[in-house]
């Protein structure tokens, strides 16, 4: 099966990738282990079907998710997520074209939020919504660096 989602530059053979990343934040609704397990199951199915990868940072007061892959399935995944009643207040923080993925070998890296990210008070204060794109990218870049050896999860 061909997994290539790029195209050729009309001027030559240079590859133009069609990969994008979307990052959004939301507030969990009914945050517990079974809910999280269900979400991760959806994400794994999505990886298999659409080749969408990413990472989900989660805490009882926050979902922060990066989705990446070919533009059409990533946008379709995000559209489904927007409709999901397991969270509320979904807002897009980043949407950009990329040359390569951060989480190529993960369906959805699941990371319970750590102290390096914002405190509960800061989240309640909408600190995340004021973050610069570079700051958002750095969170996931660091997570990708820390995620160690490639693994299928
Ligand atoms: C925080 C959160 C993250 C999610 N992440 C994904 C994901 O990465 N991929 C995915 O296919 N569905 C994800 N889902 C689930 C989708 O919203 C949706 O339920 C699922 O894709 C099945 O959609 P369908 O029933 O319309 O086929 C997520 C849901 C939530 C609440």
User: Which pLDDT score, from 0 to 100, does residue 3 have?
Assistant: 42
Looking at the DSSP assignment, which residues form a beta bridge with residue 98? 19
User: Which pLDDT score, from 0 to 100, does residue 6 have?
Assistant: 46
Domain boundaries, the chain: 19-144
Residues 127 and 52: beta-carbon distance below 8 Å? no
Phi first, then psi: give them for residue 8, nearest 5 degrees.
-95, 145
pLDDT digits (tens, 9 = 90+) for 32-52: 889 999 999 998 888 888 999
pLDDT digits (tens, 9 = 90+) for 77-119: 999 999 999 999 999 999 999 999 999 988 888 877 665 677 8
Could you tell me the distance, in angstroms and rounded to a whole number, from the CA of residue 42 to the centre of ligand 1?
Answer: 5
Which residues, judged by CB distance below 6 Å to any ligand atom, belong to the binding site of ligand 1? 39, 42-43, 46, 56, 63, 65, 67, 77, 80-81, 84, 86-87, 108
User: What does the pLDDT average to over 51-73?
Assistant: 93
Q: How far is CA 85 from CA 12, 16, 107, in A?
A: 46, 36, 22
User: Which pLDDT score, from 0 to 100, does residue 79 have?
Assistant: 97
- The pLDDT of residue 1 is above 90: no
**CATH class of the 19-144 domain in this structure:** alpha beta
Taking CA atoms only, the protein residue closest to ligand 1 atom 1 is 63
Could you tell me the distance, in angstroms and rounded to a whole number, from the CA of residue 38 to the centre of ligand 1?
Answer: 9
Strand ranges for 12-132 from DSSP E:
15-16, 19-28, 53-59, 62-70, 87-98, 109-112
58's CB contacts (< 8 A; 6+ apart) are 28, 31, 36, 64, 110, 111, 112, 113
Atom of ligand 1 nearest to the CA of 46: 11
Which of the pair, 153 or 119, is modelled with greater confidence? Answer: 119
């Amino acid at each position: 099966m061909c997994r290539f989602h790029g195209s050729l530059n009309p001027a030559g053979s240079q590859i133009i990738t069609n990969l994008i990343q979307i990052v959004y934040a939301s507030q969990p609704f009914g945050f517990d282990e079974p809910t999280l397990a269900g979400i991760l199951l959806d994400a794994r199915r999505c990886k298999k079907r659409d080749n969408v990868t990413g990472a989900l940072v989660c805490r009882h007061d926050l979902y922060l998710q990066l989705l990446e892959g070919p533009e059409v399935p990533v946008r379709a995944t995000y559209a489904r997520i927007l409709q999901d009643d397991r969270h509320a207040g979904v807002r897009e923080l980043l949407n950009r074209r990329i040359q390569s993925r951060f989480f190529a070998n993960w369906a959805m890296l699941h990371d319970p939020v750590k102290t390096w990210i914002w405190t509960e008070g800061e989240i309640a204060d909408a600190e995340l919504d004021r973050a610069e794109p570079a700051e958002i990218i750095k969170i996931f870049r660091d997570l990708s660096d820390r995620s160690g050896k490639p693994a299928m999860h």
